Amino acid sequence: MTETIKTRMLILGSGPAGLSAAIYGARAGLKPIVVQGLQPGGQLTITTDVENYPGFRDVIQGPWLMQEMQAQAEHVGTQMIYDTIVSVDLSRRPFRLTGDGGQVYEAETLVIATGAQAKWLGVPGEQELGGKGVSACATCDGFFYRGKKVAVIGGGNTAVEEALYLTNHSDNVTLIHRRDSLRAEKILQERLFANPKITVLWNKGVERFVGGGEPHGLVGIDLKDTVTGERSHLAVDGGFVAIGHAPATELFKGHLPLDRDGYIEVKPGTPYTSIPGVFACGDVMDKVYRQAVTAAGTGCMAALDVERFLAEADFEAIAAE
């Protein structure tokens, strides 16, 4: 029988949010434990060039940044555990969590930083050209396509916002949508249609992202008309898939309130969930910004609030004696 692991601060997820929470928690003497989950390091481990994280004048690599964050967290006293949590009991403190190998964790506080994953089309060339012309984040990667021809795939708020953002870098932006009308809010649609840099292709589905061989990356997108079946090809340098994100919150259904998109609900402007002692940070609760630097910021907030929560709990325990 494996011995139960007990900790004052348990963190689920090891992306920028989780590791920032760990760094602050460790420096406060809380000896946090990070359960790294299915994708240690988070989404940045599959991101190549990072140019928008403060502190680096040159382009850095996502995996390298996460290695440095983990090393920093460990250096100040964080324990990293390679495990995946499969069940939780948040009905009372200490909270009780179980890993997929049966390991049990008891935590006085819990920080949820399990992140979110971009939804993909699942068509040929998409994954092969990831980071080589195909992206799911215009804010992250749009800068690399200055003066180039780009396309955005989708029809909701995210797709329209990405297309509008890309006009800061490109004069030739195409929005590809499989239907004949957009789901985005009307005010966003008005801005889109009024922008001369944007062209909309209606009733078009993506069949394939086409590469031009190393080192060229993406050179175009094969399309199929969803009404007539006619096939066409659009030459582009960058393709941005903007069909939404899926937060990693399946584990918490029935335990914590989730919004209609599956994100953990928190008290506005804070990482506080509805359960005292349980905090959420990063993309698992943020569907607006979804940036590494904002995730790191909310991780810091979570750790500071964990420290305050535990200090108050300790004081109350002493006063009750």
- How do residues 16-73 score in pLDDT, each as one tens digit? 999 999 999 999 999 999 999 877 777 787 666 788 899 999 988 888 999 999 999 9
Q: Could you tell me the two tokens for 289?
A: 């910004």
pTM greater than 0.85 (yes/no): no
Stretch 246-271: mean pLDDT: 95
Does residue 180 contact residue 225 with C-beta atoms inside 8 Å?
Answer: no
Between CA 60 and CA 138 the distance in angstroms is 18
pLDDT for the residue 48? 66
Active site residues: 137, 140-141
Which of these CATH numbers, 3.30.1490.20, 2.60.40.1930, 3.50.50.60, 3.40.50.2300, describes 2-115+244-318? 3.50.50.60
**Is the domain defined by 120-241 classed in CATH 3.50.50.60?**
yes
pLDDT for the residue 50? 84
Between CA 299 and CA 279 the distance in angstroms is 9
Lowest mean pLDDT across 42-51, 116-125, 222-231: 42-51
Instruction: Provide CATH 3.50.50.60 ranges for the chain.
Output: 2-115+244-318, 120-241
Question: Looking at the predicted structure, is the pLDDT value of residue 103 above 70?
Answer: yes
Q: Beta strands of the chain (E only): which ranges? A: 5-12, 33-35, 49-50, 60-61, 79-81, 85-89, 95-99, 104-112, 116-118, 134-135, 149-153, 172-176, 198-201, 204-211, 218-225, 231-235, 238-241, 245-247, 278-280
Question: Looking at the predicted structure, is the pLDDT value of residue 317 above 80?
Answer: no
294 sits in which H/E element: helix 292-320
The pLDDT tens digits for 153-190 are: 999 988 999 999 999 999 999 999 999 999 998 999 99
